[in-house]
């Protein structure tokens, strides 16, 4: 079971171009769309009680990140995890900062760690799907998106990332549209993607 957190944990990613051979209109969607995937956390994540020092370090890191000081933020987040190694939201934030710094492999490692620590949560798998898309590893992105949906079939963020991974990886457009339609109930970018797909060629 998952709930949408109200905290401002999100992964903001520029969608790369689709693999060669995708229809031009789908390429346009991928080229134009920017996605913001709010953090979706499991009950276990919300129930965590990390050390107060770790929470303070994460809060400081977020302020640094807002000023694009990603390396400094990474340093503080590593310290936070030194204090509370299983702090899921710190792992997520660290993955986001690695992504912002262009270190996609390290970002993948952090999101993978979240899936190990919280295998019944959506957060790690949804962010893995996004990161794999960043790296043009579309089959793995689709697998991660499907795992997120298996964890919580009603989760609209999981529908969104799977829909995008299918579009970007040359998967079934019909299935992708179905996932994006479900996601469009709460995610404006999903509505935008559908509108782009339906635009005159």
pLDDT at site 29: 52
Q: Which pTM does this prediction carry?
A: 0.78
Report percent pLDDT > 90 for the chain: 46
- Tell me how crowded residue 44 is: count the other CB atoms within 10 A of its CB: 16
Q: Which of 40, 39, 41, 85 is nearest to 62 (CA)?
A: 39
Tokens of 189: 């970018």
The CATH number for 2-198, chosen from 3.40.50.2300, 3.40.50.11540, 1.20.120.1690, 1.25.40.10, is: 1.25.40.10
pLDDT at site 64: 96
Mean pLDDT of the chain: 80
pLDDT at site 40: 53
Residue 48 pLDDT class (50, 70, 90 cuts): confident
- Enumerate residues 6+ apart whose C-beta is below 8 A from 7: 39, 89
pLDDT at site 46: 66
Report whether pLDDT(201) > 70.
no
Residue 131 pLDDT class (50, 70, 90 cuts): confident
For the chain, the structural domain boundaries read 2-198
Tokens of 27: 């390429």
pLDDT tens track for 81-118: 999 999 999 999 999 999 889 899 999 999 999 999 99
pLDDT tens track for 149-177: 998 898 888 898 899 889 888 889 999 99
Alpha helices in 17-121 (DSSP H): 24-32, 43-47, 52-66, 70-83, 88-100, 104-117
Q: Which of 40, 51, 43 is nearest to 87 (CA)?
A: 51
Q: Which of 56, 92, 95, 96 is nearest to 76 (CA)?
A: 56
């Amino acid at each position: 079971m998952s709930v949408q957190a109200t905290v401002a944990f999100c992964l903001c990613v520029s969608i790369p171009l689709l693999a060669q051979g995708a229809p031009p209109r789908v390429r346009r969607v991928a080229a134009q769309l920017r996605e913001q995937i709010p953090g979706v956390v499991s009950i276990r994540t919300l129930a965590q009680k990390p050390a107060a020092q770790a929470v303070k370090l994460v809060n400081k890191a977020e302020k640094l990140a807002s000023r694009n000081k990603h390396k400094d933020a990474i340093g503080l987040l590593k310290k936070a995890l030194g204090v509370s190694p299983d702090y899921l939201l710190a792992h997520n934030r660290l993955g986001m900062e690695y992504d912002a710094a262009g270190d996609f492999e390290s970002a993948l490692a952090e999101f993978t760690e979240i899936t190990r620590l919280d295998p019944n949560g959506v957060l790690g798998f949804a962010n893995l799907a996004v990161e794999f898309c960043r790296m043009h590893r579309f089959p793995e992105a689709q697998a991660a998106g499907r795992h997120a949906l298996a964890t919580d079939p009603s989760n609209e963020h999981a529908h969104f990332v799977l829909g995008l991974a299918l579009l970007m990886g040359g998967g079934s457009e019909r299935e992708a549209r179905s996932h994006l339609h479900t996601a469009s109930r709460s995610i404006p970018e999903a509505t935008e993607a559908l509108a782009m797909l339906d635009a005159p060629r």
